[in-house]
Amino acid sequence: MAARAKSADLPMPAVDAVIAELRALGSEKNRAGMARFGINTAHAFGISMATLAPLARKYRRQHGLALALWASGYHEARLLAVLIEDPKLVTSKQMDAWVADLDSWDTCDQACMKLFNKTPFATEKITRWVADRREFVRRAGFALIVGYAIHGKRIPDADFLPYLNLIEAHATDDRNFVRKAVNWALRTLGKRSPALHGPALALARGLAASENKTARWIGKDAVRELTDPAQVARIAKRRVV
């Protein structure tokens, strides 16, 4: 019996056929639910991530299809593109182009957590995107810090300390999708290891005492999580890199 072909070796299906598959899986009920969670549904079919999973396995590592799906502009097509893209084939230019297209927090976070953090351009993009004034580009910078901190198991903890400076510098950005990402990044760094917990908690306490409303919210929320006894116990058991 012939060996089963790998996904990347299979002929690329027509993007229109995949879009048709996606359209058939959508529902108005799901679209309404997505909207309630602040997801931009202007070009959405209404498909859950769980429903997308089988298609992601079916089309895994198909770079050409990923590019075509992203170019279609459909919400779930872009989510599927993120899930099937081969991180080894992603270019720096592609990352900048995709992040410029972002218009919803879920696509932003999925791209950063599932794809961008696996590329060799992650640290470069963190610095550049955080400095960008566009709301979803800046969010992507902080979401990428989260993805890099969670999945970069072999990255030394010391490499993450400069990101605390970025968090402090942008803690007054009151745009909803930015402030939540800044808070997320601070909490994630603080939970990564004992070595990062102390500096992150110190920053959180400083922000909590800020006169700025946004910085104060970010700090207080982070302090609450980073001082939770159960969290502190878990952090203490984590390996210092």
Share of the chain above pLDDT 90, in %: 90
Confidence (pLDDT) at 12: 59
Token pair 């081969």 is found at 86
How many whole angstroms separate alpha carbon 109 and alpha carbon 118?
14
Encoded tokens for 35: 């909207």
* pTM metric for this prediction: 0.90
How many whole angstroms separate alpha carbon 40 and alpha carbon 68?
20
Instruction: Inform me whether the pLDDT recorded for 8 exceeds 50.
Output: no
Count of C-beta atoms within a 10 Å radius of residue 49: 12
Token pair 């980073």 is found at 226
How many whole angstroms separate alpha carbon 241 and alpha carbon 229?
23
How many whole angstroms separate alpha carbon 76 and alpha carbon 205?
39
Instruction: Inform me whether the pLDDT recorded for 237 exceeds 90.
Output: no
- Whether residue 65 sits in one domain with residue 134: no
Contact 223, 205 (CB under 8 A): yes
How many whole angstroms separate alpha carbon 195 and alpha carbon 87?
30
**Which CATH number is 224's domain given?**
1.25.10.90
Three-state DSSP at 198 gives helix
Per-residue pLDDT tens over the stretch 94-151? 999 999 999 999 999 999 999 999 999 999 999 999 999 999 999 999 999 999 999 9
Domain boundary among 27, 60, 86: 86
- Whether residue 79 sits in one domain with residue 114: no
How many whole angstroms separate alpha carbon 80 and alpha carbon 113?
14
- Whether residue 136 sits in one domain with residue 82: no
Domain that holds residue 204: 102-241
All residues at 6 or more sequence positions from 140 whose CB lies less than 8 Å from its CB, including other chains: 99, 102, 108, 111, 112, 116, 125, 129
Share of the chain above pLDDT 70, in %: 94
Per-residue pLDDT tens over the stretch 196-229? 999 999 999 999 999 999 999 999 999 999 999 9
Token pair 């997801």 is found at 39
Q: What are residue 154's phi and psi, to 5 degrees?
A: -95, 0
How many whole angstroms separate alpha carbon 169 and alpha carbon 104?
24
- Whether residue 133 sits in one domain with residue 71: no
- Whether residue 107 sits in one domain with residue 40: no
